[in-house]
Every structure is written in C-alpha cells, then in structure tokens.
Amino acid sequence: MASYKKTQFIRWIVILTSFVIVALILWNTYSFFIKFKNEERAKMVVLAKAYESLSIADLNADISLEYEIIGNNKNIPMIITNEKDSITDWSNLDTLKTKNPNYLLKQLALMKSQNEPIFMGYKNSDINQLIYYGDSDLLTKLKYYPIALILILFLFSSVIYMFFKSNKIADQNILWTGMAKETAHQIGTPLSSLLGWIEILRLENTDKATITEIEKDVERLNIIAERFSKIGSIPVLHKDNIVEATQVAFNYLESRSSKQVRFKFKTSNPIINANINIQLYSWVIENLVKNAIDAMEGKGHINLVISENESQVNITISDTGKGIPKNLQQKIFTPGFTTKKRGWGLGLSLAKRIIEDYHDGKISVLKSEIGKGTSFAITLKK
C-alpha cells in the first residue's frame, strides 16, 4: 500500500511539473510576442521617418541611409494612404493579387485591425499620409504558437487521463479476477461435502422429491463455481441453441421467484443457433432478470423476447419496474456503480464484459421510463 501511494504521488508530481513547464513556456511566448510586436512598431516608426526625410531632401543631400531603411523592410506588409484613406502605395504584398483593388482594400482592413497606423506629416506641405502595416510572417506564426502549445497540453492531458483510466481498469480487473477465482475455490469444498450428504440422505430413504430439489441447488452451486473460475480467461464458444439456454436460465428464476411476478417467454423460432458459452451467457440472463425483479420490488411483469434476422440474434428483457433516469443509463454498466442500498455494482458490468468482450455482441438499455419500466437489449452475431 505504501509503495502504491508513493507511485501515485510521483505520478502527480510529474503531471503538475509538466503543467507548470507548459504554463511557463506559454507565458514566455506571450512576453516574446509582445516584445517582438513592439520592435516591429519601432521599425515602422523609423521607416516613416525615412519617408519623411526623403520628402524634404534636396538634390545634393545624402539619402542613402533612408533608402537602406526602406529597402530593408522585406517582411512587414504595409500600405500607405492619404488623409482621405485612398491607397497611394504598398509593399511586401502579393504582387499578382495587388492588381485586384478588392485585395488591397481587404488587406487595408486587416492591417487596421492589427496595428495602429503611423502618421507621416511632411514639412512645407499640406499633404499628410498614414502607414498601415500588418504582422510579419514570423509574428503571425508566433501568434499561433500558444494555440499549438495549448493543443499539445490538451493532448498530453488526454493521454495521461487515458493512461490512468486504463491503469485503474487493469487494477480492477486483476482484483476482480482474483476474487472470482478464490470464490470458485472456496465454493468447491462445501460442494463436495454436500454431494456426500445427498448420498447419505438416499441411504436413509429420504423423500426423492426433496433429494431432487437439493441436487438441483447443488448443481446450481457447481455452475456458479465454474462461472467464477472462468473469469479472467478467454472462454470457449460453441454453436448452441440460444433459445434453450435462455429458457433454462429464465425458468430457473421463475420457479424461485414470488408468484406476484409474471414471467413471459416468447421466441420467433424454437431453435436459433449462435456461438456462445452457455454458462457465461446464462449468467447474463440471470443478472438481467434478477435486476428486473429487484426493480419491481417483487411484483410486476417480466417479458423476454428472442428474435433473429440473417446475421444476428436479438434478446430483449423488459420489466414494469421503477425505471432508470436518463442521466444514469450510461453509468449503470460501470464497475462499482449501483443504485441499490446493498450491492457491489458488478452485475451489469460483468454482463457487459461477457456479451461485448467474450461474445463480440452488444448490450444496452433499449428504453426506460420512470415508473413504467426498463428494457435491456442483447445483440449477438449468429
């Protein structure tokens, strides 16, 4: 137990450390983004000054620095407009697309949304211009980098969650398998003793009907022990008559239930063959019927219907019990989940495992209404 707690503690430390590292990377990226954006703004201010200097330079002035500044802007897209918002010049835009006026107008609208314009006022002139500029390719990529990191963080969290979930399920399966096999082993000892007592009762001329009923229950215990012993191993499937296997399990519970519970069995065909493990399949039917009896509190109707088509067999078990709320219908197959005051919450989860994992079928709540009852549906391949 101490080792398990230590492992869990280390796992949580690793997870928290990973989240902190990613959070620091996100913060650092955001800080770098703001810094880089301010640097681009400063470059555009210098560029505006270069344009202003060119506008007032005389023929003998050295304007090589201004031309170098303007020429060095090869990454930041820009559009120059007059005070009336008419486009007078542009640079670092798609040359082919600039022939389309709508393209320039769209780019201008985009630049207005990205950055504040830079005002250029020329000396000894009433003409003023504005420089609108957009984010460079590098800044655009940097903008989406935090989103990529968040997606990575989300994927990382999902993987961690799935890992813990599968780990927990694996631990539950190991525990459940061990308990099942131990139960089968423990049942075996009194079973042998009971068989001996039955022989003694025969020798003492006990009523044959009584002995027959005791034998049925002993055989029943033997079946239960064999079922538990199969947990954790892959069962062998045989082509058997699923109608007969279902009816035997159904009739057994009917004979041992209250007379206030009405049992009705219906099938479209008396012989429907399917690949099943009779002991495990019967266990599922018994679990569902027992749940139905509990849901009706020992009074009501249970209907079991078997039908078939070319590829599959459908078994429907309906009751007139209290029903299952919609928000719980997906949870009832979860190991440990139960709405009963006394219960382990293993019956339906076991039924789901037997049908879906061992028989490659499907089990689900077909429909359920509060106060009216529930219908479970089992589908198996023929």
Q: If residue 166 lies in a helix (H) or strand (E), which one and from where to where? A: helix 137-203
Q: Which residues contact 89 (CB under 8 A, 6 or more apart)?
A: 79, 80
Residue 269: predicted pLDDT = 93
Residue 79 CA to residue 98 CA, distance in Å, equals 11
User: For 256, how many CA atoms within 13 A lie in the half-sphere containing its CB?
Assistant: 13
For domain 235-381, the CATH architecture is: 2-Layer Sandwich (3.30)
Rounded Cα–Cα distance for residues 159 and 146 (Å):
20
**Residue 265: what residue type?**
F
Is residue 181 within 8 Å of residue 231, measured between CB atoms? yes
Buried residues in 111-122 as b, exposed as e (16+ CB within 10 A)? beebbebbebee
| Contact call for residues 80 and 54 (beta carbons, < 8 A) | no
Which one-letter amino acid corresponds to residue 337? F
What CA–CA distance (Å, rounded) separates 254 from 239? 26
Q: In which region does residue 378 sit, left (phi positive, over 0), alpha (psi from -120 to 50) or beta (all else)?
A: beta
Which residue is it, tokens 């979860």? Answer: 334
Tell me how far apart the 2 most distant CA atoms of the chain are, in Å. Answer: 136
Tens-digit pLDDT string for the chain (382 aa): 455 566 667 777 877 887 788 778 778 877 877 887 788 778 877 777 777 676 665 666 666 776 677 777 777 888 888 878 888 888 888 877 888 888 888 988 988 888 888 887 765 556 678 888 887 777 777 777 777 777 877 887 787 777 777 776 666 666 666 666 667 667 776 777 788 888 888 888 888 888 888 888 888 788 777 777 776 677 889 999 999 999 999 998 898 888 899 999 999 999 999 999 998 899 899 999 999 998 898 899 999 999 999 899 999 999 999 999 888 888 888 876 676 666 555 778 889 988 998 899 999 999 999 999 999 999 999 8
Strand ranges (E), 162-311:
238-241, 261-267, 273-276, 300-308
Q: What is the pLDDT of residue 47?
A: 77
| Whole-number pLDDT of residue 4 | 53
Q: What is the DSSP letter of 63?
A: -
Q: At what angle do helices 2-56 and 64-72 cross, to 10 degrees?
A: 140
Q: Residue 304's CB: how many other CB atoms inside 10 A?
A: 22
Q: At what angle do helices 208-230 and 278-295 cross, to 10 degrees?
A: 110
Q: Angle at the Cα of 45 (from 130 to 57), degrees rounded to 5?
A: 80
- Are 78 and 134 a contacting pair, CB within 8 Å? yes
* Prediction pTM value: 0.52
In this structure, which amino acid lies at residue 81? T
**E-assigned strand segments in the chain:** 78-82, 87-91, 118-121, 128-133, 238-241, 261-267, 273-276, 300-308, 312-319, 362-369, 373-381
Q: What's the residue count for the chain?
A: 382
* Angle (deg, nearest 10), helices 137-203 and 2-56: 160
Q: In the beta sheet, which residues pair with residue 112?
A: none
Domain residue ranges of the chain, discontinuous segments joined by +: 2-135, 235-381
**Strand pairing of 373-381 and 362-369?**
antiparallel
